[in-house]
């Protein structure tokens, strides 16, 4: 019988137990669980992998804890510009957005592009215009404000100038906060179709309309029934250069590697070689799941119809 599976991540980075309070750990665990159940219930009812990854990602986009949707980080101009992508491994259809503002659920917009346009990738004001036409839910700027992210941005912004003044204490404080909070989901449904979705606010203090790997098909997000569905998190630039998600697919297709082995090659060898800090989650059409990272931790969770159910934060 076809195994149904779902895996999610809420970002990778320097997530150390000693920097976490028990309350915060509980909050993250609850949020990961909520997202996992939001997606899994769809698969269990016989729904599609695309619907499941969208629901799982939307749940995290609505949660301030994660750097996506509502909890998106601040750009250097003090605004929020979000990126997201979705891909259906059944027919390779895909949708993506970059640099969108005031969209409550960027993954919903990416899915609308995939399902209701002749395009794959929209950016900025054009994407926002399409969102209006599609009646995608918008929110005012205040919705995306959180004191925590604001302080994080201020530390980063001030940190830059302090770093020039060679203030080690400030630099250290910055390093401690070096984590990525992008969210993503991969799923395999009862028909053996797989899908991936990823959503992010990008990197704190980002400049110049910077776009990361998350909305770039093949870099931070990819799905193909023949191989795998992958969602990445980490320092976007190296992930783009490595074409990370597609490379996993290629190694499965051409070298016949298993999902785990192909992901291991990319995460622990190829990305490490170019200082590509981060991780990824993956699923194949048999419903196998893998969750790998080269950072200290990664918020992650997985569930399948063969009894697997895990929620994890730190290294194994
Ligand atoms: N990969 C994202 C980016 O570079 C950041 C993250 O994963 O948190 O935009």
How many A from CA of 234 to the centre of ligand 1? 5
5-314 under CATH 3.20.20.70, yes or no = no
* pLDDT surpasses 70 at 61: yes
- Nearest alpha carbon, ligand 1 atom 4: 236
Which pLDDT score, from 0 to 100, does residue 159 have? Answer: 56
Q: For residue range 85-142, what is the model confidence (pLDDT) as tens digits?
A: 999 999 999 999 999 999 999 999 999 999 999 999 999 999 999 999 999 999 999 9
Query: Which atom in ligand 1 lies closest to the alpha carbon of residue 212?
Result: 9
pTM over 0.85: yes
Q: For residue range 263-316, what is the model confidence (pLDDT) as tens digits?
A: 999 999 999 999 999 999 999 999 999 999 999 899 999 999 999 999 999 998
Better-scored residue on pLDDT, 74 or 241: 241
How many A from CA of 232 to the centre of ligand 1? 8
Residues with CB under 6 A from ligand 1: 11, 67, 180-182, 200, 202-203, 212-214, 220, 233-236
Tell me which of 177, 182, 243 to substitute to probe ligand 1's pocket, judged by most ligand atoms within 8 Å of the beta carbon: 182
Which pLDDT score, from 0 to 100, does residue 96 have? Answer: 98
Query: Which atom in ligand 1 lies closest to the alpha carbon of residue 236?
Result: 4
How many A from CA of 268 to the centre of ligand 1? 18
- Per the annotation, the verdict on 233 as an active-site residue is no
Tokens representing residue 237 in the block: 């630039």
- Nearest alpha carbon, ligand 1 atom 8: 180
Query: Which atom in ligand 1 lies closest to the alpha carbon of residue 239?
Result: 1
Catalytic hit among 75, 111, 182, 233: 182
Taking residues 220-230, report their average pLDDT.
Answer: 98
Which pLDDT score, from 0 to 100, does residue 186 have? Answer: 99
pLDDT tier at 162 (50, 70, 90 boundaries)? very low
């Amino acid at each position: 019988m076809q195994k149904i599976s779902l895996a999610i991540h809420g970002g990778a980075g320097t997530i150390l137990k000693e920097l976490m309070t028990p309350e915060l750990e509980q909050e993250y665990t609850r949020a990961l669980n909520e997202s996992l159940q939001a997606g899994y219930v769809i698969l269990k009812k016989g729904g599609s992998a695309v619907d499941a990854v969208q629901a799982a990602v939307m749940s995290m986009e609505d949660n301030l804890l994660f750097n996506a949707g509502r909890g998106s980080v601040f750009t250097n101009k003090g605004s929020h510009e979000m990126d997201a992508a979705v891909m259906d491994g059944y027919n390779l259809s895909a949708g993506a957005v970059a640099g969108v503002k005031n969209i409550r659920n960027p993954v919903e917009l990416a899915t609308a592009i995939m399902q209701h346009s002749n395009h794959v990738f929209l950016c900025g004001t054009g994407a926002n215009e399409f969102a209006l036409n599609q009646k995608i839910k918008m929110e005012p700027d205040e919705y995306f404000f959180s004191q925590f992210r604001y302080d994080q941005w201020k530390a980063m912004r001030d940190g830059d100038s302090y770093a020039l003044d060679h203030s080690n204490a400030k630099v250290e404080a910055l390093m401690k906060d070096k984590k990525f909070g992008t969210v993503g989901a991969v799923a395999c449904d009862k028909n053996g179709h797989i899908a991936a979705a990823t959503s992010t606010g990008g990197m704190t203090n980002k400049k110049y309309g910077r776009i990361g790997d998350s909305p770039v098909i093949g870099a931070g997000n990819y799905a193909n029934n023949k191989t795998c569905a992958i969602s990445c998190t980490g320092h976007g630039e190296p992930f783009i250069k490595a074409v990370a998600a597609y490379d996993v697919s290629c190694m499965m297709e051409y070298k016949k590697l298993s999902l785990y082995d192909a992901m291991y090659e990319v995460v622990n060898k190829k990305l490490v070689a170019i200082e590509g800090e981060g991780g990824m989650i993956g699923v194949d059409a048999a419903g196998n799941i893998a969750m790998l990272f080269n950072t200290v931790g990664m918020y992650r969770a997985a569930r399948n119809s063969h009894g697997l159910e895990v929620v994890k934060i730190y290294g194994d």
